Amino acid sequence: MFRRIFSIAANTFRETIRNKILYAILAFALFVIGMTFFLADLSVGDFARIIADVGLASIHIFGVIMAVFLGINLVSNEVDRKTIYILLSKPVRRFEFIFGKTFGLSVTLLLTTLAMATVLFLVHFSYRYGGRAEVGIFIASAGIYMELVLLTCLASLFSTFTTPVLSAIFTLSLFFVGHLTNYLYVLGEQSKGTAVRWGSRFLFYLLPNLENFNWKNEVAYGGLKSFSILGWAAGYLVAYAACVLCLSCLLFARKDFK
């Protein structure tokens, strides 16, 4: 079982790194991160902080673009092109397929995020005024990466039952909502009606809380020093992603292919 999941993951990894559009997005992202070097010159204040700030925001945005772009096509491409016929007629269970595809894309995203983070780290380090080796950039990027993995799982969940365009819309909506669930909770708690309170609590726990992975501000203000926060977020990621993947597998298990 693990060998088959691994083979499918390796093949997905190969598929994504042979994708020219991914390189275009990555090149553009690296360009933008590089440009922060000059951006800092144009503004006033703590220059090095601005580099970290803008750079991490770029990693976040481009990472989400990559995750959504690759994630929505992850399953639907195989179904549309009928390549899945051959895969599933082999001794491959459908859940092995879903897990393999998702793991493969996660590895690709790990490499792209690492590349972006490294460039940002170097830009930040080599900056004239107050540049330093900021480990926090890697910690914040790890948070971003975890968020991307979660988005990938969600995108592949949607792509098991809708078209790529709708999957993209759903995934992006969850991305925005996922960053606002804390507000939802606070707003809900202020409400008078018990039903509303319970409803908002329910949504708070149901929707992904992507702010759990957001340490960008702490890094930019130099406040984040500990790695333990990573462990907690990783636990949340594993639990949430496992639920999403299991749901995908359930939806996929008895699907008829056209």
What are the residues binding other proteins (CB under 8 A)? 3-4, 7-8, 11, 14-15, 18-19, 81-93, 254, 256-257
Q: How far is the CB of 7 from other proteins (least distance, A)?
A: 4
Cα–Cα distance for residue pair 195/129, rounded to 1 Å: 54
At 120, the amino acid letter reads L
**What residue has token string 């590895």?**
107
Closer of 198 and 257 to other proteins (Cβ): 257
Three-state DSSP string of 233-257: HHHHHHHHHHHHHHHHHHHHHCCCC
Closer of 77 and 214 to other proteins (Cβ): 77
Cα–Cα distance for residue pair 181/209, rounded to 1 Å: 6
Closer of 91 and 193 to other proteins (Cβ): 91
Closer of 82 and 128 to other proteins (Cβ): 82
Closer of 18 and 192 to other proteins (Cβ): 18
Ramachandran category for residue 188: left, alpha or beta (phi over 0 → left; psi -120 to 50 → alpha): alpha
Q: How far is the CB of 10 from other proteins (least distance, A)?
A: 8
Q: How far is the CB of 96 from other proteins (least distance, A)?
A: 9
For the chain, how are helix, strand and coil distributed in percent, rounded to 5? Answer: 80, 0, 20
Please name the residue ranges forming H helices in 18-93: 20-42, 47-81, 83-89
Closer of 80 and 211 to other proteins (Cβ): 80
Q: How far is the CB of 254 from other proteins (least distance, A)?
A: 6
Q: How far is the CB of 156 from other proteins (least distance, A)?
A: 17
Cα–Cα distance for residue pair 205/240, rounded to 1 Å: 10
Cα–Cα distance for residue pair 60/140, rounded to 1 Å: 10
Q: How far is the CB of 225 from other proteins (least distance, A)?
A: 43
Burial of 111-122, coded b for 16+ CB within 10 Å and e otherwise, reads: ebbeebbebbbb
